[in-house]
Amino acid sequence: MNPTKDLPHFPPLTSEREPTYERGYWREELTLAFRNRGMPLEALRYSTTPTGLHFLLTHFDIPAGDVVSWRLEVGGLVERPLTLRVADLEARPRVTRRVTMECAGNGRGLLHPRPLSQPWLQEAIGTAEWTGTPLAGILEEASSRPGAIDVVFTGADAGMEANQVQRYQRSMKLGEALRDDILLAYQMNGEDLPPQHGGPVRLIVPGWYGMASVKWLVSINVTDRPFDGHYMVGTYRYSKLKGELGEPVTHQRVRALMIPPGIPDFFTRTRLVEAGLVKLEGRAWAGRRGVGRVEISTDAGKSFADARLEPPNDPCCWQAWSFDWDARPGRTTLIVRGTDSEGEAQPLETFWTYRGLGNNVAQRVEVVVG
């Protein structure tokens, strides 16, 4: 199967832009910022994010999905190619998983120099209940043939990136794809998967950054060699220089975020907090590793103290934390920093890569206590 066969051919549109030291933001970034929705951080109050507040990242356009005509083709190096309708998936074993999802580009807008792409600050997150059928069952039914090593997932969304017209495509190693926690999801928070979240059907890969959870899934193709599409080798890599391949971006790195306390100033978003005991609250996650520790600084990083961390309710899902702060009048910077179960902590300085991926710098919140 060639999922790009019905796409038009276009010559390269632009040469790719270099990262820039420009302090301002570009029109292109702003256009992306308005298409792609962040979760306002006060929504950390919800253990499951309301559907309309979950982050959204769409590379191209949201396709006009249609439950009736939608088909998922499963093919390539398999004994039994399959063509599945939504109803076929619904008739299979049904699983619901609560999963924290995060864009790999979360934090990019905090970098200097800033790689030009979707300029997320720290809000490309959300936790939803995804309902679907395990991918493993589908792959087992199709039954891979000897030599199969990779599985390519193709979405219906198409456009030009890196000067190539293409659909969004990602792959996983066959062993990884057979994990029992990966879903072909057709519901989000108990309702039909809405178009903007990948409806009618998307992949959900718990613990990985969001790029693995391919939306608008139309094809699963088993292959005998590693897939080298743009979203595997041209981006989603921790490269430090243009042209350097770099290590692949895979699992979520640890991150803790706080609900900004008090009330905001409209434009600067500085927080205004009344002096006295303030309960700081938020959530933290670390993909499959889970969170080991959350620390708070109320003095701009001079000192840190441990927050109370709730145990996880679900694997690959955020955990609540809280911290009692005796807020004294004046201006300060609050910092929250998570450490995963293997001892890896969020950095206090930004983590720079050429594509601006995996920047899990600790959150800072400017506060005036009055």
**For its own copies, which is the closer residue by CB, 196 or 341?**
196
Distance CA 247, CA 170 (A): 15
Q: How many C-beta atoms surround the C-beta of residue 175 within 10 A?
A: 9
SS3 210: helix
Site string for its own copies, 187-206 (x = CB under 8 A): -------xxxx---------
Site string for its own copies, 227-266 (x = CB under 8 A): ---------------------------------x-xxxxx
Residue 348: CB minimum distance to its own copies, A: 18
Using alpha carbons, list the distances in angstroms from residue 164 to 13, 38, 154, 201, 317.
9, 27, 15, 25, 35
Q: Which residues contact 342 (CB under 8 A, 6 or more apart)?
A: 289, 292
Q: How many C-beta atoms surround the C-beta of residue 228 within 10 A?
A: 10
Q: Is residue 59 involved in binding its own copies (CB under 8 A)?
A: yes
Q: What are the backbone angles phi and psi of residue 330, rounded to the nearest 5°?
A: 135, -175
Site string for its own copies, 13-32 (x = CB under 8 A): xx--x----xxxxxxxxxxx
- Figure out which of the listed residues 73, 88, 141, 161 binds its own copies, where binding follows CB under 8 A: 161
Find the angle CA(204)-CA(207)-CA(212) to the nearest 5 degrees. Answer: 45
Residue 157: CB minimum distance to its own copies, A: 9
Q: Is residue 119 involved in binding its own copies (CB under 8 A)?
A: yes
User: Tell me, what DSSP letter sits at residue 239?
Assistant: -
Binding residues for its own copies, total number by CB under 8 A: 70
Q: Is residue 82 involved in binding its own copies (CB under 8 A)?
A: no
Interacting residues with its own copies (CB under 8 A): 7-11, 13-14, 17, 22-35, 37-38, 40, 42-43, 45, 50-54, 56, 58-62, 64, 109, 116-117, 119-121, 123, 158-161, 165, 194-197, 260, 262-270, 272, 274, 368, 370
